[in-house]
Amino acid sequence: MFICPPASLLNRKIAKAKFLANSHPSTRIRELLTSQVQDIIWHAKLSPESINLPATPAVAEIEVFHLALKGKDVHPDLLDFLDKSIPHPIIFRLKNIEGHLAYSAAYKRPSESELFGHVLGSRFSTPFTPQSSSPLVLPTALDLEKLYLILFEQLLPLSARSNEPLEALILRNKQHQLLSRQIQALQNKANREKQFNRRVALNQELNLLKDQLDTLQS
């Protein structure tokens, strides 16, 4: 995705027990953390001091975490738990057991009702792919908030339409995410169906969903 500037690098290993002690997670989250994550590395801190970009009230700094996974993937609920443990926006780089990389983020904004609180939105992740031999440099931005938006939007399946507000862009991508899952599930069901009439009905339903998906993508 991008290379963090040398001045921002920390590469500090964080014990999983620290997250467990500070956040009081459920038994399920504890089990996911134990079974799915090998190491958590605080890779970089993008801040006014480290990359010479001004902070804003919404984004004081951006954290970059590297997660070494024990298997092929990680449950998004576990990423949300880790995200909620840190008050600043986080970009996760995920490396699975096959050496493939993915990136994940949930849009984080300050809470309007809770002082020093924050609200975590929908999570978006890239597919796992082989490591790139030529990662990108950090994008150019006027401040940390704009940099965060650029990095976050790189993870979205759909790009912003002309003058589309961020909230609308996130909602459209969430709808795209859910609709894509529905289409895949219905396609699998249609492929397994033996009765011709039932398969025709499923394909008609599938075409309607695909039309909705095309509308979101246009």
User: 19-65: per-residue pLDDT in tens?
Assistant: 998 888 999 999 999 999 999 999 999 999 999 999 999 999 999 99
Q: How confident is the model at residue 1 (pLDDT cuts 50, 70, 90)?
A: confident
Query: Does the pLDDT value for residue 3 go beyond 70?
Result: yes
Q: What is the pLDDT of residue 19?
A: 92
3-state SS string for 41-62: EEEEEECHHHHCCCCCCCCCCE
SS3 content of the chain, % helix, strand, coil (to 5): 45, 25, 35
Query: In the sheet that 37-46 helps form, which strands lie side by side, from edge to edge?
Result: 9-13, 37-46, 62-69, 90-95, 101-110, 118-125
Q: What is the pLDDT of residues 65-103, one digit of tens each?
A: 999 999 999 999 999 999 999 999 999 999 999 999 999
Q: What is the mean pLDDT of the chain?
A: 93
pLDDT tier at 116, thresholds 50, 70, 90 = confident
Q: Which of 108-112, 125-129, 175-179 has the lowest mean pLDDT?
A: 108-112
Residue 147 near residue 60, CB atoms below 8 Å: no
DSSP notation for 77-133:
HHHHHHHHTSSS-EEEEEE-TTS-EEEEEEEEEE-SSSTT-EEEEEEEEPPPBPPPS
Token pair of 32 as six digits: 């996911």
Q: Structure tokens of 214?
A: 């095309």
Which pTM was predicted?
A: 0.87
Average pLDDT on 169-175 reads 94
